[in-house]
Amino acid sequence: MKNYKKGLLAAMVLAAMSLMAADDKIIYVNTFDDENGENANNCSLREAIETARKNAAFGGCKAGNTANGQNDIIQLEAGEYKLSLGELVPETQITIQGKSRWNFDVKNKLTGNYPAYEAIKTTINAQGKSRILNTGKTEANVVMQSVRLTNGYSNTRGGAVNVGGSFVLSNGIIDNSKADIAGGAIYASTLNTEKNVDLVSTLVQSNQAPKGSVLAMDCVGNFGDSKPNISFTQSSFIENGSANSQSIFDYCGQVTSVLMANTIAKNRASATTGSIIKAIDNTVNNSVERLSAASLFSFTSNTIVENDAYSTYYYDKNGSKSLAFNVLAFNKTGKSCRYLNNTVPDKTQIFYATGNAFELTEALCDLPESVLTSTNSSIKNIDVKNNAISTYLTPLQETSEYNLYLPLYYPLKTNLATSLMNTGLSNCSENDQRGLVRITDGTLQLNPDSRNSCEIGSVESMDLTAADVEELTNSSIKVLVKGYQDEIDGLKADINDPVYKEYKIANQEDLSVKEAELAALKNNLKYRAIYFNPFEKSLPQEVTVIGTQSRQLQKLNADNYTVSAKPLGIGSEITIASGQASVVGGDLDDLKCEWDAKLHKVVIYRAGGDVTDATDFAFCQYTLTEKTNTSNSSSGILKAVFKNIEPIVESKTYSIDPSSNLTLNIDNLMLNASEEGDGPLATLPSGKALWNKDVNGLDLPIHLDSIPAGLNFTAERSGQCPGSYVKETCYGGKLSFSVKNNLSQFDYPVKYSVFDSEGAKSNFGILTLKNTAKNTNTSSSGGGSFGILGLISLFGLVVYRRRMN
């Protein structure tokens, strides 16, 4: 497996899966009915939560993780769980998992890789009769994954969820929920202890409340400010609120709020007093609705458009604010950003704004003077007031497999100076809303104007970009080949392991690719070669799906792109003029840069096999060209050094015995050594020496790092070792060892290493001279020879007898 089984986290998950197979402590829910202990044959969701609390079997549920204080995992199936007995009230730490949305039998429509991401399969439906979850009093921590929470209702606060502990929902949905006072979707009752409320890759839609249709919170508790930590990332908040709502996100207390890579659109609040995002101290009207000056607001890479309210972002001087790469514009009715009571923004407040798209007119957006007058190009914001939203963004795209079932907007290319794309800046969100990595720190020497930089908004647009790559160097060819083989062996084992049956189809495809690549590698082994994957660090071309405005990536592989490569030369540096590269202080020399279509690698090597000098580099150029649009291509520069890989020696055991006077002759110790790190012997360039030589041109590679005192040694040749070992002696030819005491029964370990022709020293190996005399004695029976304990015993008997006499 490639993208679905690598990395520390994935390894931990897979390790956990192995443990689960042996000792499964998950509580499995096997009925959609809402039961509470009356049926011993079924395990309901409510009973599973009670089982976790009791740390013992309940109803039809088997006990889960019974260790005190440990998290219990509750597994749901695909289908709808209708609550008829009221809200769920966890009292202990639990994780509720819906049916996974990942399908490893199908490729992802967005990326072209396994697995596919599918529509949500598991629903908890409160049927408009109650909340779905309430930890307001229990303060239990709850994590939910791949679950839809729908039709929640509260006649007070928290329509779907009333949060008292930490709460996480990932890859989920909260929709069609309502609260009569506050918090249509979520109400945070975090009081004055810090608790986290996290939404990740979640759709929040059609929720309502007079205050905070998506989110509201307690402002004070226990005579102090509440301290909620709110983090909403890569999520969509769509069509929440109503004409009577006062807010969609309602902040107070000492809150920390991170909004990153979200779409907040088509939400509605009062046209005369309502706000989409409300973050003000309101103690003038309500003594408990205070916002602490110590609050923190960080809004990065969000698309906040087409909302309908008096204010989209309503703020005051309290709290530090950082707004970066947001589209905060094109909202209806009122202002996209409004300062408290329509006054001039306080000059003393902490307010950072970088790379945003605002409508920079007082009628549409109130911003501090420091933002409006800034001339710093590294933190520039753009003014979009003179153009319609259709100039910059597609219409809102409905849920589909191309956008991870999250409604969003795609940015549009424009020739205007105020484009949302490629701002030339960095520090936007690391991933866009679809989870794609924004590579904004790469270089593109041949065409710097095409270098990818941050887009404004939640979605990054991808254009084919062949990355410049530095610090390439050759590694051990032997290790490379072994790595391929190990991966193949691992894939075969996983295919036959029932624990990983979910990944079988993906693994089988990977296995076919890896086996073909290993065969190609063995047919194209080069001395000291660098095998570079041109697709690994490059950006793919994004294309529009036919008949829609959705986007998908043209997967980076040899099926979609033509690859070519050429050497530029060896020298100290490279210069670019009119898009053409030349090497300073060098020439092509013997540098080779070749695309191997079967191996799917650019192979970089020197025909003569030499290393590069300390101040020199090898430069190559590679080009990716889209097959369906050959006019679209991108080229990158590869900067490499060739180094000497240390030789390899193996340990070896030789027998010595009394019949040869405990003497050993080794005619060719170098049979235990190799230079396969640089490449197999067959790849050694013509005329290039393999091992260190003496002044007469004879091999002198062997160095004895330690030799036992009881051993004599002679060699056919001896002389100075190379480099920093020049004061030591190296040997070559036939080696002879003899034991000084021919009655010895000990083994003799000799530690050795070797030097190659360029003076690189190998690892250590052990030559074990194994004395067979000892083995013969210990294997004999009867009254023959015996060991030291026998001698001691015999001596004791003699003394005893003498004393008796």
The conformation of residue 63, written as its DSSP 8-state character, comes to: P
Burial 650-688 (b: 16+ CB within 10 A, else e): eeeeeebeeeeebebebeebbebbbbbbbbeeebbbeee
pLDDT computed for residue 378 by the predictor: 73
Band (pLDDT 50/70/90 cuts) for residue 224 is confident
**For residue 476, what pLDDT band results from cuts at 50, 70 and 90?**
very high
Cis amide bond preceding 701, omega within 30: no
Does domain 648-779 match CATH 2.60.40.10?
A: yes
Q: Residue holding tokens 């004070």?
A: 220
CB 426 within 8 A of CB 450: no
Q: Please tell me the pTM assigned to this model.
A: 0.87
pLDDT at residue 192, as a whole number: 62
Q: Is residue 784's pLDDT more than 90?
A: no
pLDDT bin (cut points 50, 70, 90) of residue 586 is low
What integer best gives the mean pLDDT of the chain? 91
Mean pLDDT of 682-711: 95
Q: How confident is the model at residue 421 (pLDDT cuts 50, 70, 90)?
A: very high
The pLDDT assigned to 780 comes to: 38
DSSP string, 207-259: -B-SB-SSEEE-SEETTEE-EEEEEEES-EEES-B-TT-SEEEE--BS-EEEE
Percent of the chain, pLDDT > 70?
Answer: 93
The 10 Å Cβ neighbour count of residue 706 is 10
Token reading at 142: 């709850």
Q: Across residues 610-619, what is the average pLDDT?
A: 94
Q: What is the pLDDT of residue 258?
A: 98
* Banded pLDDT at 3 (limits 50, 70, 90): very low
Q: Is the pLDDT of residue 271 over 80?
A: yes
- pLDDT score for 443: 76
Q: Which amino acid is at 484?
A: Y
Q: Quick: pLDDT tens for 657-669.
A: 988 889 999 999 9
Place of tokens 């693994």: 507
Q: Is the pLDDT of residue 270 over 90?
A: yes
- Which pLDDT value is given to residue 774? 62
pLDDT of residue 68: 84
For residues 381 and 354, the answer to whether their CB atoms sit within 8 Å is yes
The answer on pLDDT for 430 being more than 90 is yes
Cα angle for residues 44, 99, 77 (degrees, 5° grid): 30
Average pLDDT over residues 713-737: 97
pLDDT band at 793 (very low <50, low <70, confident <90, very high): very low
Per-residue pLDDT band for 233 (boundaries 50, 70, 90) equals very high
Chain region(s) in the chain for CATH 2.60.40.10: 648-779
pLDDT band at 448 (very low <50, low <70, confident <90, very high): confident
Q: Which residues of 129-150 are buried (b: 16+ CB within 10 A; e: fewer)?
A: ebbbbbbbeebbbbbbbbbbbb
Closest by CA position to 236, among listed 263, 266, 272, 218:
263
Burial string for 520-557 (b: 16+ CB within 10 Å, else e) reads ebeebbbbbbbbbebbebbbbbbbeeeeeebbbbbbbe
- Residue 540, pLDDT > 70, answer yes
**753 neighbors 691 (Cβ within 8 angstroms):** no
Is it the case that residue 335 has pLDDT exceeding 50?
yes
Among 181-195, 228-242, 287-301, 691-705, the range scoring the smallest mean pLDDT is 181-195
Distance CA 595, CA 531 (A): 10
| pLDDT (0 to 100) of residue 449 | 80
Residue with tokens 């070792």: 721
* The pLDDT of residue 24: 76
Spatial contact of 305 and 409, defined as CB atoms under 8 Å apart: yes
pLDDT > 80? residue 779: no
At 579, is the pLDDT very low, low, confident or very high (cuts 50, 70, 90)? confident
- Is pLDDT above 80 for 6? no
Residue 535 near residue 562 (C-beta atoms within 8 A):
no
Asked if pLDDT for residue 729 goes beyond 70, the answer is yes
- Is 4 a residue whose pLDDT tops 90? no
Contact 207, 178 (CB under 8 A): yes
Stretch 593-613: mean pLDDT: 96
Residue 361, pLDDT above cutoff 90: no
Name, in order, each residue with C-beta under 8 angstroms of 398's C-beta and a sequence gap of 6 or more.
407
Mean pLDDT (whole number) for 517-544 = 97
pLDDT of residue 283: 86
pLDDT average, residue stretch 546-575? 95
| Mean pLDDT calculated for residue range 173-182 | 99
